Amino acid sequence: MNHLYFDLPKFKDKKNVEIEVEKIHKLSKKINRKVCIMEVCGTHTMQIAKYGIRKMMPENVKLISGPGCPVCVTPQEYIDKAIYILKNYDVIITTFGDLYRVVGTESSLEKERINGKDVRIVYSPYESLDIAKSVNKPVVFLSIGFETTMPAVACTIKEAKRSNINNLYFFIGNKFFLPALETLILFNRNFLSPFIKTEMFIDGFLLPGHLSVIVGEESYLWVAERYGLSGVITGFEPLDIVRGIRMLLETFVDSQPRIQNEYVRVVSYEGNKFAKKVISEVFEPTGGSWRGLGFIDESTAKLKKEYEMFDAEKVFNIPNITINLSNTKCKCNEVLIGKITPFECPLFEKVCTPENPVGACMVSSEGACAAYYKYERCYLR
Amino acid sequence: MCVAIPMRVVEIDGNQAVCEYEGIRRTARIDLLPNVKVGDYVLIHVGFVIQKIDINAAEEILMLYKQMEETL
């Protein structure tokens, strides 16, 4: 048995996708109203744009992008603080590539590196550990990412403690996605905030596949129970995505909101219990701000007391930085919650491009603006 | 950011697994899935194995489409 990764290409197969798209069109006729489906994972945003799935949809099925990209929701002050550490201390910064070009108030990690600072892109947080072992100065890992990435960071921190490494620090910007999903739902219904007065209502969610690998289907049951909204945990191949949309439409037709799992090949009901355990051993939730969504209780990760010695914020003296967003025309905040599409931002394509990005949604390869710029400019305005 | 890559485990050494996909090999930590075995298909995220892929579940889905195509 030496077949290549079973039949993954079949999940891209045009015929299979067409079968689902036909079902979607049939179902949409039974719904008789406009429905709005939000994807809350950056990889979905990218794949929907790349495979042209938006234009396969019937007139009354609208797909919008939500806050599914950890880079995009990281507040600007995080970047500013990271740059502050870099400028004021003799350190090596390690970061995922995604964050490298994000622009802070005055600079970016990329610009600082050009100016001679030591910024290294790593694929895994674990690489920071090896770097720390090989140098005699502090190494600071810029830790961003949702529940998907947190277990890997937690394992690295535990390993650093076990092997007594005392020059590795973590600047924690990790966020818990689930509380933000609830805030988004509340925003959307105008329960909470006069800030958002959108005409649009989200009817259901395509839920993030790989985040769900960790948290499991059970983590979303409240979406249907408390708010009467449907969600489908969806994989990332084109067939997965159209299947996810079809499964959501079925719940609109029979008016029975529920959580379903399309991505059964990797997502279980209870998730990865080892990963969940290690998250709770190392991190605890605290309040924190999100670009686009503002301050959300229990949404930001913080190191537990026994791992505090690895906390960059405790070790380096970083001033409090507050950002005044009112003097910028960048509309990332509104793009992130689906209030507007990237086309409606005055900077899109004119001032803000992937080569010269203004906002995080254009920098990150998974940001909605980057996806629209790359794949969707030729149609749909 | 939450991208995960499907690969196949070809070797396990302590906390690390050597994984392969289409001729590309790389090592990944198995702290998050300690019971992984050689031959398993797995998902890898930022250098860590995060889940085993259930091949049968995938094939069952594809079988449905094969049947649907035949009845068209």
8 Å CB contact of A125 and B46: yes
pLDDT in tens, A23-60: 999 999 999 888 999 999 999 999 999 999 999 999 99
**Cβ–Cβ under 8 Å, residues A210 and A240:** no
Phi, psi of A118 (to 5 degrees): -90, 95
What is the arithmetic mean of pLDDT over A208-231? 96
Domains parsed from chain B with CATH numbers: 5-71 (2.30.30.140)
How many Cα atoms are found within 13 Å in the side-chain-facing hemisphere of A228?
5
SS3 sequence of A223-246: HHHHHCCEEEEECCCHHHHHHHHH
Nearest to A266 among B8, B32, B51 (CB): B51
| H-state helical runs in chain A | 14-31, 42-50, 53-56, 70-73, 76-88, 109-114, 125-134, 150-162, 177-188, 209-215, 221-227, 238-253, 273-282, 312-315, 332-336, 360-363, 368-371
Q: Taking CB atoms and an 8 Å limit, are A272 and B53 in contact across chains?
A: no
Question: Residue A198 above 60 pLDDT?
Answer: no
- Residues of chain B contacting residue A44, judged by C-beta atoms under 8 Å apart: none
Reduced to 3 states (helix: H, G, I; strand: E, B; else coil), residue A96 is coil
Segment A218-222 mean pLDDT: 97
B52 vs A contacts (CB less than 8 Å): 266
Contact (CB<8Å) A152/B45: yes
Domains and CATH numbers, chain A: 72-176+271-320 (3.40.50.11740), 327-373 (no CATH)
Is residue A199 over pLDDT 60? no
pLDDT of residue A193: 39
Give the global pTM. Answer: 0.93
Query: What ipTM was assigned to the predicted interfaces of this complex?
Result: 0.94
Residue B25: the pLDDT is 94
Residue A190 has pLDDT above 90, yes or no: no
**pLDDT beyond 80 at A150:** yes
Whether residue A93 contacts residue A85, with contact meaning beta carbons closer than 8 Å, is answered with yes
**Cα nearest neighbour of A16 on chain B:** B65
d(CA B37, CA A138) in angstroms, rounded, equals 37
The nearest alpha carbon in chain B to A211 belongs to B2
**Residue A138 main-chain phi, psi, to 5 deg:** -65, 140
Got the DSSP string for A5-49? STTGGGGG-HHHHHHHHHHHHHHHHHH-S-EEEEE--HHHHHHHH
Choose the closest CB to B54 out of A127, A211, A266.
Answer: A266
More confident residue, A332 or A324: A332
pLDDT of residue A25: 97
Given this model, what pLDDT does residue A381 score? 55
Tell me the mean pLDDT in the region A197-206: 76
pLDDT digits (tens, 9 = 90+) for A68-96: 899 999 998 999 999 999 999 999 999 99
Give A-chain residues touching B68 at CB under 8 angstroms.
Answer: 19
Q: Which of A5, A139, A169, A155 is nearest to B29 (CA)?
A: A155
